[in-house]
Structure 1
Amino acid sequence: MDSTELELLVEIINRKLLEKQIRPLSYTEILIMQGIWHYQTYHQIAQEKGYSAGYFTNVVAPQLCQRLTELVGSRVTKKNCRVLLESYLDATCTALKTTMLKQHSVDSFPDTDQKPSPSYPSGPVPLGSSFYIENSTLSTRVYEEISKPGALVRIKAPKEMGKTSMLLRILNYAESQGYRTVSLNLEQIDSSILNELNLFLRWLCANVSRQLQIEPRLDDYWDEDIGSKVSCSLYFRKHLLEQINSPVVLVLDEVNQIFEHPQVAKDFLPMLRSWYEEAKRLLIWQKLRLIVIHSTEIYVPLELNQSPFNVGLPIQLGDFCLEQVQQLAQSYGLDWSNGEESQQLMTMVGGHPALIHMAIYYLSFEEMNLAELLKTAPTSSGIYSHHLQRHWVTLQQQLELLIAVNAVMSSTEPVQLEPIVAYKLSSMGLIKLDGNKATPFCQLYRQYFNNQQLKIDENNN
């Protein structure tokens, strides 16, 4: 089964789940299916995609197997998953599979503008997708900046706001310009490595070398007498940059992971700034174009003149505006030109790109109308149930955050929060900040968390 057929398999399963009024496959469930089809272990899938192996093995995989078992009527395990699903499709979905293959075949419709059926909107929007809503102003600024010698771009936003989708396009643009590209996700690092600066910098050098297809020679440059930061900088300058004749775009994604390790952060982050500043006087460093991506504001005990987060080009990803919501609806075949439907949806979920996209996806199948979707949105039976429950589980594990959320969601006025609490809730995308004063990000969160608190109060009574 090739990648096109696997994509069709996911679409067929999602349609069947929707027919049963069950939520479609999540992004992480799809990642596991892709890994199974490539004969990968759960650990390999998790490592490649930047997730915890334990999370995939103990949480996502059992949930996926249970859902597929209910769908196909036979017990699904990792070993038999592929065989059972192929048999299921051959037995019950032959007609649908044939139709969808024709829809996806360019050769079948060489003279038409027919579009493929949309996939469930989870994770980054693929390159070339008609469902990607670009902020052309921000994209143009980034493209122009990375064309400059020694550039540094800082992209920040809460999770699920489109950082990774934008990153895919930045890397594609850089490669189209003949630049070499390296993309590292710091979520992929073992915590033991993040706890020790020397191990972390060696991890960085080794991974950059491999992505640039240059033989790692760390021991030739590592010298404990000069320290790991100088060793790392020498390795980049002498071993990597001198061998490459084109600009190198180095992306460090999920840099917020390092904030939990201040002993490493206080040395690593100033080192990045030093590379940026060295480019002003040394031509060799001008080849390096840094892109640092992180969630929301940064609370790291660094001296302001040492931090890389007040230099370079800052890019803050924001919400969809009304016109962008209408544009996305149009790409799904919905006529929302009068703006009424777009405004109603935005009243509930703000301009949150992922929540907007999910709603429009469901509405495009005409399984429900907008009024029904909005009525059930903040409940456990709505389309956002998985999204909301994930936040609820996280909050229950951190009492300080739960108390703060209850205060913000139940108040009609902005609530003053401690900076670290404000940062964490903003990272989750649950609140909007004006200084340290917080308001709910949207009515969806206000209604859902108020209902959860009401249930707790009732149970306590």
Structure 2
Amino acid sequence: MPDDQDPKQVTNNDLPDSQFAGGLINANTVNAGQIGGNVYNIHFGPQATSDNSSPSRQQTNRLQQERESIYKAYTLQSQKVANIRNAWVIETDPSRKFQYGQQLQTEERTLQELGDKLETIEQKLSKVDNEQTKTNANIYIKRPPIEEKCYNAIVQPGALIRIKAPQRMGKTLLLEKILDHTRGQGYQTAKLDLKLADVENLANLKTFLQWLCVDVADSLDLEPQLDKHWQEVFGLNKNCTRYFQKYLLSVTDAPLVLSIDNFERLFDYPEIFPQFCLLLRGWYEAAKQGDKIGNIWKKLRLVVVHSTESYPSLDTNHSPFNVGLPIELPEFNDQQVLDLAEQQGLNMFGEQGLNGLMGLVGGHPYLVQSAITALSSANAHLKSQQILLEELLRLAPTEQGIFSDHLRQQLWHLQHNPQLETGYKRVVMTDVPVRLDTEVAFKLHSLGLVKLVSNDCVASCDLYRQYFSTRLG
């Protein structure tokens, strides 16, 4: 690419009228002699942002722009790889087949690099979200009797609490409230966020369990001591159990609350998921013993947070998802929305305005808070040009609306998974519940895009239905 060319420009690789076996791939500038080459050249420099934006907002915008650019390149590269692979499969000339094979390896490496970059950006966006969650931790709306049930359960010996809800429903905020409550009781706490785990930590079961041991020790300001407590003669789950039993749970009499957020990350790691579930179930059962070992495990309290059902198959006797206290977070009701508005100094909701907001986004905590924050900010900074709720609702399902970043992020998830995109298109293009493949339904529910009605799916709110019926139609 020439030095003076726009670095954000992506090479045209639509690959129209592709022809194979005749030696020519008619892809505008791509031929049999030059199928390889770069399909992307992405600028990672700072993006222009408004001076009024907060640093976290600027960072989020920059990361979202980078993700969008890389995803476009990833899509083009996927098309290119598919076409070269087809050419390689049907080519009969040995020299050309060899050439296609070599170029295919090069392009597949490029595709893998783009995929790795996408995953890295997703992790960075998750970290920014977590930081924002901590910033807004003082804004919390109770959903009785959930909090009291959790506070009562976590102080019980060997407790296990399972918090389930789609993304951005307030699971992490509730988790922080539970951890704060236990710290007030003098308990030790360790939080493991699997969404932030590096790919290297999830390479295999041994690496994952050792990372778990070291991370929890670090949370407790303890030296790892893996060399002392990890013996190769034992199995992996046995070693992890010994490490907790002989070290982490024995250095103090205080109970230890171990919370695991975004547990569903492990669903994509079949070598780790079932064995780790078996391990957690074993720890829970060990606390029921009446002997010395049982007394040690009674000090461990587990909180597992996940955004969907456990769709990988598990033996019910080995699963932590059918024991302990289940907590499913509901959406906000009308009064809770009014309480949230009052906490943010907004008192402009009449019955009509409240009904309009709830009719568009339901009681989805993230969407409701985004709307209220926007209205509150406008009320504080634009006193003479106050943004009307009616205008916010009118623009909401468009690229001019306050939800545009969130909607584009959800669209990215769908476009990144053709099965989800196809399934969700069926949901938003009809007003009746739709039966989808179980795994597709659970993944859409995890993203917060659908509600489950018996075994069927409906769009979780009218905002999503309006936006995605246009984008996917």
Please tell me the residue identity of whatever aligns with 2:325.
L
Instruction: State the partner residue of 2:333.
Output: 321
Instruction: State the partner residue of 1:171.
Output: 179
1:124 aligns with 2:122: no
Superposition deviation, residue 192 in structure 1? 3.3
Please tell me the residue identity of whatever aligns with 2:302.
L
Q: Which whole-Å CA distance do the structure 2 matches of 1:59 and 1:126 have between them?
A: 15
Question: How big is each residue's C-alpha offset from its partner over 1:20-64, in whole Å with a ceiling of 9 and x where there is no partner?
Answer: xxx9926746999xxxxxxxxxxxxxxxxxx98831799999xx9
Q: Which whole-Å CA distance do the structure 1 matches of 2:316 and 2:53 have between them?
A: 52
Report the CA distance shift for 1:251/1:17 in structure 2 as closer, same or farther (over 3 A).
closer
Superposition deviation, residue 125 in structure 1? 5.5
Aligned length: 362
Report the CA distance shift for 1:447/1:127 in structure 2 as closer, same or farther (over 3 A).
closer
Instruction: State the partner residue of 1:74.
Output: none
Instruction: State the partner residue of 1:308.
Output: 320
Superposition deviation, residue 237 in structure 1? 0.4
Secondary structure, aligned partner of 1:408: helix
- TM normalised by structure 2 equals 0.71
Given that 1:179 and 1:247 are in contact with CA atoms closer than 8 Å, whether structure 2 keeps it comes out as yes
Superposition deviation, residue 331 in structure 1? 2.1
Name the Cα RMSD after superposition: 2.9
Secondary structure, aligned partner of 1:413: coil
1:16 aligns with 2:16: no
Q: Which whole-Å CA distance do the structure 1 matches of 2:194 and 2:425 have between them?
A: 31
Please tell me the residue identity of whatever aligns with 1:134.
K
Q: Which whole-Å CA distance do the structure 1 matches of 2:456 and 2:195 have between them?
A: 29
Superposition deviation, residue 140 in structure 1? 0.8
Report the CA distance shift for 1:26/1:304 in structure 2 as closer, same or farther (over 3 A).
farther
Please tell me the residue identity of whatever aligns with 2:351.
G
Q: Which whole-Å CA distance do the structure 1 matches of 2:212 and 2:221 have between them?
A: 14
Question: How big is each residue's C-alpha offset from its partner over 1:66-99, in whole Å with a ceiling of 9 and x where there is no partner?
Answer: xxxxxxxxxxxxxxxxxxxxxxxxxxxxxxxxxx
1:25 aligns with 2:61: no
1:351 aligns with 2:351: no
Instruction: State the partner residue of 2:149.
Output: 141
Q: Which whole-Å CA distance do the structure 2 matches of 1:244 and 1:443 have between them?
A: 52
Superposition deviation, residue 121 in structure 1? 12
Question: How big is each residue's C-alpha offset from its partner over 1:329-371, in whole Å with a ceiling of 9 and x where there is no partner?
Answer: 2223333565332221010001110110111111122341111
Given that 2:171 and 2:329 are in contact with CA atoms closer than 8 Å, whether structure 1 keeps it comes out as yes
Structure 1 unaligned runs (5+)?
1-12, 33-50, 65-119, 455-461
Question: How big is each residue's C-alpha offset from its partner over 1:110-155, in whole Å with a ceiling of 9 and x where there is no partner?
Answer: xxxxxxxxxx9984264772x3212241111111111100100001
Given that 1:349 and 1:444 are in contact with CA atoms closer than 8 Å, whether structure 2 keeps it comes out as yes
Identify the range of structure 1 (185-194 vs 432-441) with the bigger mean alpha-carbon deviation: 185-194
Given that 1:186 and 1:254 are in contact with CA atoms closer than 8 Å, whether structure 2 keeps it comes out as yes
Secondary structure, aligned partner of 2:451: strand
Superposition deviation, residue 188 in structure 1? 2.4
Secondary structure, aligned partner of 2:316: coil
Structure 2 unaligned runs (5+)?
1-48, 65-116, 380-385
1:370 aligns with 2:385: no
Question: How big is each residue's C-alpha offset from its partner over 1:1-37, in whole Å with a ceiling of 9 and x where there is no partner?
Answer: xxxxxxxxxxxx978359xxxx9926746999xxxxx
1:325-404 equivalences under 5 Å are 325-335=337-347, 338-364=350-376, 365-366=378-379, 367-404=386-423
Report the CA distance shift for 1:302/1:26 in structure 2 as closer, same or farther (over 3 A).
farther
Given that 1:336 and 1:342 are in contact with CA atoms closer than 8 Å, whether structure 2 keeps it comes out as no
Given that 2:137 and 2:173 are in contact with CA atoms closer than 8 Å, whether structure 1 keeps it comes out as no
Secondary structure, aligned partner of 2:304: strand
Q: Which whole-Å CA distance do the structure 2 matches of 1:206 and 1:24 have between them?
A: 30
Q: Which whole-Å CA distance do the structure 2 matches of 1:335 and 1:251 have between them?
A: 37
- TM normalised by structure 1 equals 0.73
Given that 2:162 and 2:305 are in contact with CA atoms closer than 8 Å, whether structure 1 keeps it comes out as yes
Instruction: State the partner residue of 2:29.
Output: none
Instruction: State the partner residue of 2:470.
Output: 451
Please tell me the residue identity of whatever aligns with 1:124.
T
Please tell me the residue identity of whatever aligns with 1:16.
N
Secondary structure, aligned partner of 2:223: coil
Larger radius of gyration: 2
Instruction: State the partner residue of 1:156.
Output: 164
